[in-house]
Chains A and B, each alone.
Chain A
Amino acid sequence: MSKAGITVATADPPAPAVRRLPRRRGIELALIVLAVLLSVYGYCAVGLAQHGTLPPGAAGYGAGLGVLALLAHLAVRLRAPHADPLLLPIGVLLNGLGLVLIYRLDLETPGDRAAPAQLIWSTLGVTLFILVVLLLRDHRVLQRYTYVCVVAALVLLTLPILFPAVNGARIWIRIAGFSIQPGEFAKVLLAVFFAAYLAANRNALAYTGRRLWKLQLPTGRVLGPIVAVWLVSVGVLVLERDLGTSLLFFGLFVVLLYVATGRTGWIAVGLLLAALGAVAVGRLEPHVHSRIETWLHPFASIEAGEGPNQLAQSLFAFAEGGMLGTGLGLGHSVLIGFAVKSDFILATAGEELGLAGLSAIFLLYGLLVERGYRAGIELREPFGRLLAVGLSSLVALQVFVIAGGVTGLIPLTGMAMPFLAQGGSSVVTNWAIVALLVRVSDSARRQYDGPGTR
């Protein structure tokens, strides 16, 4: 690969011999320090607002987060020196902010301390990040495990059926006091599978098979396995009543199919299927039906004299925040009730940080996604491109579905806000996604460097 690069470059005299991209590890370090400082600042602000004193654990919290972030940075410096310098700091900042918000909400709900557990999970997540960066020298290795991934994903998805439902959804397994949401891990594995399969079969998908009106239908042998996997996963999720994740998988599938084949028709088919599915599920499934009703009339329960529902409380919280927010620790997000640390944690961000803070959080996610897409565009081989696009799209879709849900843009589907929300599986998974994006972006930017830079 690098030899070919050199021949091309030298054949073109006015261009420099190699286009050497700056590595910018120093910038990454500076941004990480900034992210840690911002999180510690938020932590202190919560303590000052609630008790008038600095919280006793501020130094420990800052040191812990700082050490974790620095170790991750060292791993990147060592094994992925060309990686995009924004990915890791965004992860640190979002994770740190999530810890602050969860700590802040812990103060309102004395019986339920979630921040320590979240800190442990974050440590695990960063450890996984470091391991992936250190051990996975080339993302293309993953292509070898295409079918391992899909089997593992399906197993993880079906596992919770054996466990009792929690809050109406069978998406948890409980082992030794820990509850794990295997669907979270499954989404990374599925993204890897979709990317690998589509990368291997994209020509067959795009150019073989019969033509039906404007749509080129691929042969069943090529399309069959992937549709089967997708149908099984969505079907399982519907059984488990995890509609948010099934929507996520559907979106991921359509996006990757479109990018791999370049056929706009797939989007049309996808949208049509999505619409049909939405109408069918909305009609038949009472749980979903009530959520759509709630979305259309968020204040109906107030008019009915039953008091505000969660969505109404969430909207009240956002409204209270206004432009600049009430300030960390000064809102009343506990009124939102249960799920305030997971599904509805964004409402606390909106209330206490205001539209300014909320927009900043959205833009951070947007930046993370954009950096992922950029790596995908810069890469030359299809698996890496699809992997980068798939992982970034996972983040984008998940943020949209959950943020759109709690702000009343779309019907609510319970899902965890990446990095922010309480939930161990989610934090670990998102760190894995960032690790893979770091790895992919390292490959993407290394292509430009000459030989010997490895």
Chain B
Amino acid sequence: MTRHIRHAGVFCALLLVALLLNAARVQVVQAPEYDRNPANRRPDIARYEEPRGDILVDDRPVTGSRDTREHLRYERTYTDGPLYAPVTGFASQLYGTTLLEKAEDGILSGTDPMLAPFPLWNDFTRARSRGGDVVTTLDPAAQRAAYKGLAGHKGAVAALEPSTGRILALVSAPSYDPQPLSGNGAAATKAWRRLNVDPDRPMLNRAVRQTYPPGSTFKVVTTAAALDAGVVRDLDAPTGSPEPYTLPGTRTRLTNASRGCRDASLREAFTLSCNTVFAKLGVEVGATDMTATAHAFGFNDPALRIPFPVARSTFDTSLDQAQLGLSSIGQYNTRATPLQMAMVAAAVANGGQLREPYLVERTVRPGGSTLAASGPRAVRQAMYPSTAVRLRALMREVVENGTGRRAAIRGAKVGGKTGTAQHGLGNSGTPYAWFVSWAQGDRDLAPRVAVAVIVEEAEADRGDISGGGDAAPIARAVMEAVLAHQR
């Protein structure tokens, strides 16, 4: 009998071994797979267990956290939600995160390993660090000015500090309040549905996620290419341009909105925004040099992040002469985000050097000590310094004598370029009004701010739509707000 008791005992031992092995299988081998199962709520619960870190503008948080005492405990709150939505994005328990909330999620939610007191500490203790804060480069006054200027319009504003690439303002209109999306209840679902069916697309970040034909503002790029390539040496020499200009190889005749473009000098053509002159210049510069310059300004760069990705601005690289002519005046396949056009203005203002734009000044630990500081990024030489000096003069004339007079600021040097972009089938859409500019206060050594403004479907008669009329005053308000800060 003893032998058989032992056998039965071995059987029980085998059962125990099976249990132990299976427990190890479930808890160690399969655990990562189970953790990743979308129906597993535990990662979500852990994620929202602690208040999220904040996004700071001018050292004041524009976000917050609300304790709901629910399973998913902390909900995001926003102060001035619509004002900062194109920067913060939303952090929703149902719909995920966007923009800065997404790009800096590791810091904000506390999962970033840099937040741990020691390497691998959190892996070992299974603790989650408290979320860190993200300090933005935004200038709240400039942001407010841009937001106010766009009120009632569809459009966007991007403003940069030319010497560093810091983004001072990033506004998209119409905007939305991200707060209702934060939770997971019926209200969030309803808000999500409402925002998604809104024909005005308030959740579209027009400043960085939408590209537009840049129209005449692209003539800044064409001018830089022409001066760099030596196609034009004297700003005041006649360019020998006919009016109308027949695009090479076609019978399409290009005309101008203003008079006085026949055989105009580059200075006159820039001030009057002559399509004929710039189309001809672009053709003379040639596709290779035009593409190279556009690229140097940041066109065709799919990898730009600020730190969230920016839509790629395009300058077509395989063009015939006629297409090159059209592209050189910001039409055909040329498309740019407002941020890209602000980069163009900033490169001119910064002596030809382009600083990559960035939105996060630094990230800080909950205690306030700095985790990582971004600082100015790589420099790209967009044009010769001498070209930049001449372009600055040209742009100042636009504001002083040309189409951009409404951007002028008393006691400051302001340079600008207007644009009216045709779009739609057969150019049937209401044109977009563009304005790109930069400004230097009277006591500043260099331009302090570069801005790009676009207003879609400006509320004006079609004939009157112009960057100078609708977009320039908004740009001026933003530039004034920046210059008003004493440094």
Residues in chain A within 8 A of chain B (CB atoms): 255, 258-260, 262, 299, 302, 307-308, 312, 315-324, 326-327, 332, 335, 350, 354-355, 358-359, 362-363, 365-366, 369-370, 373, 376-377, 382, 385, 389, 392-393, 396-397, 399-400, 403-404, 407-409
The answer to whether A404 and B19 touch across the interface, beta carbons within 8 angstroms, is yes
- B193 beta carbon closer than 8 Å to chain A: no
Q: Which residue of B16, B31, B39 contacts A362 across the interface (Cβ within 8 Å)?
A: B16
- B66 beta carbon closer than 8 Å to chain A: no
The answer to whether A373 and B42 touch across the interface, beta carbons within 8 angstroms, is no
Q: Which residue of B2, B8, B27 contacts A322 across the interface (Cβ within 8 Å)?
A: B27
Other CB < 8 Å A-B pairs besides A302-B38, A373-B12, 6 of them? A316-B37, A316-B39, A318-B27, A322-B28, A323-B27, A358-B23
Please give me the residue from chain A that is nearest to B12 by CB atom.
Answer: A396
Chain B residues contacting A324 (CB-CB under 8 Å) are 126
Please give me the residue from chain B that is nearest to A346 by CB atom.
Answer: B23
Complex CA–CA separation, A25 to B126 (angstroms): 41
The answer to whether A255 and B11 touch across the interface, beta carbons within 8 angstroms, is yes
Per-residue interface assignment for chain B, residues 4 to 34, with 1 indicating a CB less than 8 Å from any chain A CB and 0 otherwise: 1111110111011011101110111011111
Q: Which residue of B12, B19, B35 contacts A393 across the interface (Cβ within 8 Å)?
A: B12
Q: Evaluate whether A259 and B5 lie within 8 angstroms (CB atoms) in the complex, with A396-B12, A404-B19 already known.
A: yes
Q: Which residue of B1, B33, B35, B45 contacts A332 across the interface (Cβ within 8 Å)?
A: B45
List, sorted by A's number, 29 A–B pairs whose CB atoms are closer than 8 Å.
A259-B8, A302-B39, A308-B37, A308-B39, A315-B30, A315-B34, A316-B34, A318-B23, A318-B27, A318-B34, A319-B27, A324-B126, A332-B41, A332-B42, A335-B42, A358-B23, A358-B27, A362-B19, A370-B12, A373-B8, A385-B1, A389-B5, A393-B8, A396-B12, A396-B16, A399-B15, A399-B19, A404-B18, A409-B18
Chain A residues contacting B26 (CB-CB under 8 Å) are 315, 318-319, 350, 407-408
Complex CA–CA separation, A362 to B3 (angstroms): 25
A119 to B: closest C-beta gap in Å:
28
- B40 beta carbon closer than 8 Å to chain A: yes
Chain B residues contacting A308 (CB-CB under 8 Å) are 37, 39-40
Chain A residues contacting B8 (CB-CB under 8 Å) are 255, 258-259, 373, 389, 393
Per-residue interface assignment for chain B, residues 28 to 62, with 1 indicating a CB less than 8 Å from any chain A CB and 0 otherwise: 10111111011111100100000000000000000
For the complex, count residues of B whose C-beta is within 8 A of A: 38
Chain B residues contacting A322 (CB-CB under 8 Å) are 27-28, 31, 126
Residues 424-473 of B at the A interface (beta carbon under 8 Å): none
Chain B residues contacting A369 (CB-CB under 8 Å) are 12, 16
Q: Evaluate whether A373 and B27 lie within 8 angstroms (CB atoms) in the complex, with A335-B42, A400-B15, A403-B19 already known.
A: no
From B5, B6, B24, B32, residue with most partner A Cβ within 10 Å: B5
Chain A residues contacting B45 (CB-CB under 8 Å) are 332
The answer to whether B1 and A326 touch across the interface, beta carbons within 8 angstroms, is no
Chain A residues contacting B40 (CB-CB under 8 Å) are 308, 316, 319-320
Chain B residues contacting A399 (CB-CB under 8 Å) are 15, 19
A420 to B: closest C-beta gap in Å:
14
The answer to whether B39 and A312 touch across the interface, beta carbons within 8 angstroms, is yes
Residues in chain B within 8 A of chain A (CB atoms): 1-9, 11-13, 15-16, 18-20, 22-24, 26-28, 30-35, 37-42, 45, 71, 126
Chain B residues contacting A358 (CB-CB under 8 Å) are 23, 27
Q: Evaluate whether A316 and B42 lie within 8 angstroms (CB atoms) in the complex, with A302-B37, A326-B126 already known.
A: yes
What is the total of A-B residue contacts with beta carbons within 8 Å?
135
Complex CA–CA separation, A404 to B37 (angstroms): 22
Q: Which residue of B1, B3, B9, B19 contacts A400 across the interface (Cβ within 8 Å)?
A: B19
Q: Which residue of A326, A389, A397, A408 contacts B22 across the interface (Cβ within 8 Å)?
A: A408
A166 to B: closest C-beta gap in Å:
28
Chain A residues contacting B27 (CB-CB under 8 Å) are 318-319, 321-323, 350, 354-355, 358
Chain A residues contacting B23 (CB-CB under 8 Å) are 318, 350, 355, 358-359, 362, 403, 407
Chain A residues contacting B19 (CB-CB under 8 Å) are 362, 399-400, 403-404, 407, 409
Chain A residues contacting B12 (CB-CB under 8 Å) are 366, 369-370, 373, 392-393, 396
Complex CA–CA separation, A318 to B24 (angstroms): 10
A314 to B: closest C-beta gap in Å:
9
Chain A residues contacting B28 (CB-CB under 8 Å) are 322-323, 355
Complex CA–CA separation, A150 to B406 (angstroms): 104
The answer to whether A262 and B4 touch across the interface, beta carbons within 8 angstroms, is yes
B10 to A: closest C-beta gap in Å:
10
Tell me the interface secondary structure of chain A in the complex: helix
The answer to whether A409 and B22 touch across the interface, beta carbons within 8 angstroms, is yes
A186 to B: closest C-beta gap in Å:
22
The answer to whether B42 and A320 touch across the interface, beta carbons within 8 angstroms, is yes
A309 to B: closest C-beta gap in Å:
10
Chain A residues contacting B9 (CB-CB under 8 Å) are 370, 373, 377
Chain B residues contacting A299 (CB-CB under 8 Å) are 37, 39
Q: Closest 7 CB pairs between A and B?
A: A319-B34, A319-B31, A396-B12, A355-B27, A302-B39, A400-B15, A409-B22
The answer to whether B2 and A377 touch across the interface, beta carbons within 8 angstroms, is yes
A161 to B: closest C-beta gap in Å:
31
Chain A residues contacting B5 (CB-CB under 8 Å) are 259, 373, 376-377, 385, 389
Q: Evaluate whether A262 and B1 lie within 8 angstroms (CB atoms) in the complex, with A366-B16, A373-B9, A403-B19 already known.
A: yes
The answer to whether B39 and A319 touch across the interface, beta carbons within 8 angstroms, is no
Complex CA–CA separation, A355 to B22 (angstroms): 10
Please give me the residue from chain A that is nearest to B43 by CB atom.
Answer: A320
Q: Evaluate whether A366 and B4 lie within 8 angstroms (CB atoms) in the complex, with A404-B22, A407-B26 already known.
A: no
Chain A residues contacting B18 (CB-CB under 8 Å) are 400, 404, 409
Q: Which residue of B1, B32, B37, B41 contacts A335 across the interface (Cβ within 8 Å)?
A: B41
A176 to B: closest C-beta gap in Å:
37
A419 to B: closest C-beta gap in Å:
16
The answer to whether A396 and B3 touch across the interface, beta carbons within 8 angstroms, is no
Chain A residues contacting B7 (CB-CB under 8 Å) are 258
Complex CA–CA separation, A366 to B30 (angstroms): 25
Complex CA–CA separation, A308 to B5 (angstroms): 42
Complex CA–CA separation, A308 to B28 (angstroms): 20
Please give me the residue from chain A that is nearest to B10 by CB atom.
Answer: A373
B28 to A: closest C-beta gap in Å:
6
Complex CA–CA separation, A316 to B19 (angstroms): 17
Q: Which residue of B4, B22, B24, B37 contacts A259 across the interface (Cβ within 8 Å)?
A: B4
Complex CA–CA separation, A370 to B31 (angstroms): 31
Chain B residues contacting A397 (CB-CB under 8 Å) are 15
Chain B residues contacting A408 (CB-CB under 8 Å) are 22, 26
The answer to whether A319 and B16 touch across the interface, beta carbons within 8 angstroms, is no
Complex CA–CA separation, A354 to B124 (angstroms): 13
The answer to whether B4 and A258 touch across the interface, beta carbons within 8 angstroms, is yes
A376 to B: closest C-beta gap in Å:
5
B278 to A: closest C-beta gap in Å:
58
B2 to A: closest C-beta gap in Å:
6
Chain B residues contacting A354 (CB-CB under 8 Å) are 27
Chain A residues contacting B15 (CB-CB under 8 Å) are 396-397, 399-400
Q: Evaluate whether A407 and B22 lie within 8 angstroms (CB atoms) in the complex, with A366-B16, A376-B5 already known.
A: yes
B466 to A: closest C-beta gap in Å:
54
Complex CA–CA separation, A307 to B39 (angstroms): 7
B376 to A: closest C-beta gap in Å:
43
Complex CA–CA separation, A2 to B16 (angstroms): 37
Complex CA–CA separation, A354 to B23 (angstroms): 10
Chain A residues contacting B2 (CB-CB under 8 Å) are 377
Q: Evaluate whether A319 and B30 lie within 8 angstroms (CB atoms) in the complex, with A259-B8, A409-B22 already known.
A: yes
Chain B residues contacting A302 (CB-CB under 8 Å) are 37-39
Chain B residues contacting A359 (CB-CB under 8 Å) are 20, 23
From B9, B22, B35, residue with most partner A Cβ within 10 Å: B9
Please give me the residue from chain B that is nearest to A378 by CB atom.
Answer: B2
Chain B residues contacting A312 (CB-CB under 8 Å) are 37, 39
A383 to B: closest C-beta gap in Å:
12
Complex CA–CA separation, A22 to B1 (angstroms): 26
B31 to A: closest C-beta gap in Å:
4
Chain B residues contacting A363 (CB-CB under 8 Å) are 16
Complex CA–CA separation, A324 to B28 (angstroms): 10
Complex CA–CA separation, A255 to B35 (angstroms): 39
